[in-house]
Amino acid sequence: MTKYTIKDIARETGYSISTVSRVLNNKEEGMSKETRKRILEVVEEMNYRPNQFARGLITKQSNMLGLIVPNISNPFFPELCRGAEDEAVNNGYSLIICNSDDQSSKEERYIRLLKEQQVDGVLLASMNKLTRENEGILTDSQIPYILVDRGLDVSTATGVFMDNFKGGYLAGKHLIELGHQKIGCMTGPVDITNSNNRLKGFLQALKEHDIPIPSHYIMNGNYHMEDAYDQAKQFLANNEVTALFASNDLMACGVYRAAFELDISIPNDLSVIGFDDIPFGEVLNPKLSTIRQNTYQIGKESVKLLIKKIHNEPVESLFYEPTLVVRKSTTKLPERSFS
């Protein structure tokens, strides 16, 4: 099981390594069919694989892409990874998935690591304010990169984003149309654009319908389930609201748990709407109403964009439209008296 090199193929076929290299790289079609065929045969036979180190040393390409996500335990991201990976592999790239655990120090470490690993490009889904300098590292090192799902400032860099403002707006509007007046909100991390935009859209909906929202109706969440549970437990104990918008489904899960423990019935006592549409939304009892993102698609398109960027083709940011998914966790306010 010794590893063969291009020399072995050359010797075996009687051609020079230059020629072997050429057919392996599909260079210059002006080459006899015979030669090509013969060489390919032997390559197959000997199960020869080019050494990527040697190849990379010259081409400066690794055919690897990096993807940094903030929290692999949020089912949103595995879904995103799946889309990204499928697209990457279909284009001859492999994907290195890194989990920054929402720590900008880890994020920085991974960016450096990916750079040293000579990836051809990186997908950054992990931005927060603290990491503006991390983006600097990326820019400085000239590695092509694409922002995914999260960005500091959409105008700075190319990326694939969701219209989070509209998503928040849809969530707010849905609750309002159900007759709710006392509506709470659990935001995502304050330093993340997508979370801010969800909040802004939500507030805009309330404003348009002249529904006031006292500041203590707003909880600052961090997109995590545990924290959401802790906060909701306290918040709901002093229950005033009849509806709640959780800025992602993971936090909605935490809210469910808190509500259940406090004997607050969803949706009879409290309507809850989430954001993302993770698969577990359908398992929750009652099934979770939410704002759907095309997560898998976002992953795929991000890689497409990144590959274009690597090839120096012009790229433009992509924006997706979220949609409202009404299930069983939101209900009309009047119905409460029937329960």
Closest approach, Cβ 68 to DNA, in A, equals 24
Count of residues interacting with a second copy (CB under 8 A): 51
Pairing of strands 323-325, 290-292: antiparallel
Q: Which of residues 23-82 bind a second copy (CB under 8 A)?
A: 49, 51-54, 56-57, 60, 62-64, 72-73, 75, 77-79, 81-82
Rule CB under 7 A: is residue 5 a binding residue for DNA? yes
Between CA 100 and CA 316 the distance in angstroms is 26
Give 4 or 296: the residue with its C-beta nearer to DNA: 4
Q: What sign does the dihedral 229-235-239-245 (CA atoms) show? A: negative
Rule CB under 8 A: is residue 98 a binding residue for a second copy? yes
Give 25 or 285: the residue with its C-beta nearer to DNA: 25
CB under 8 A: which stretch of 27-35, 93-101, 192-200, 201-209 binds a second copy? 93-101
Give 98 or 185: the residue with its C-beta nearer to a second copy: 98
If contact means CB under 5 to 8 A according to the sort of partner, which of DNA, a second copy, none does residue 260 touch?
a second copy
Between CA 227 and CA 29 the distance in angstroms is 61
Buried b (16+ CB within 10 A) or exposed e, 274-285: bbbbbeebeebe
Between CA 165 and CA 321 the distance in angstroms is 10
Closest approach, Cβ 31 to DNA, in A, equals 4
Give 114 or 171: the residue with its C-beta nearer to a second copy: 114
Rule CB under 8 A: is residue 107 a binding residue for a second copy? no
Give 27 or 311: the residue with its C-beta nearer to DNA: 27
Pair of tokens at residue 245: 């918008």
Rule CB under 7 A: is residue 7 a binding residue for DNA? yes
Closest approach, Cβ 204 to a second copy, in A, equals 30
Pair of tokens at residue 173: 């509007």
Q: Please, are residues 48 and 8 in contact by the beta-carbon 8 Å criterion?
A: yes
Pair of tokens at residue 184: 């709470």
Between CA 224 and CA 75 the distance in angstroms is 11
Backbone angles phi, psi at 230, to 5 degrees: -60, -50
Q: Which of residues 256-285 bind a second copy (CB under 8 A)?
A: 256-257, 260, 279-280, 282-285
CA distances, 289 to each of 165, 206, 232 (Å): 18, 18, 18
Between CA 166 and CA 90 the distance in angstroms is 32
Between CA 249 and CA 269 the distance in angstroms is 19
Between CA 250 and CA 102 the distance in angstroms is 15
Between CA 81 and CA 150 the distance in angstroms is 15
If contact means CB under 5 to 8 A according to the sort of partner, which of DNA, a second copy, none does residue 44 touch?
none
Rule CB under 7 A: is residue 30 a binding residue for DNA? yes
Q: Please, are residues 167 and 275 in contact by the beta-carbon 8 Å criterion?
A: yes
Return the number of other C-beta atoms located less than 10 Å from residue 328's C-beta. Answer: 15
The site string for a second copy over 224-263 (x = CB under 8 A, - otherwise) reads -x---------------------------xx-xx--x---
If contact means CB under 5 to 8 A according to the sort of partner, which of a second copy, DNA, none does residue 35 touch?
DNA
User: What residues pair up with 235 in beta bridges, in sequence order?
Assistant: none
Between CA 271 and CA 156 the distance in angstroms is 37
The site string for DNA over 32-51 (x = CB under 7 A, - otherwise) reads x-xx------------x-xx
Give 61 or 268: the residue with its C-beta nearer to DNA: 61
Rule CB under 7 A: is residue 117 a binding residue for DNA? no
Rule CB under 8 A: is residue 141 a binding residue for a second copy? yes
Q: Which residues bind a second copy (CB under 8 A)?
A: 1, 49, 51-54, 56-57, 60, 62-64, 72-73, 75, 77-79, 81-82, 85, 89, 94-99, 101, 109, 113-118, 140-142, 225, 253-254, 256-257, 260, 279-280, 282-285
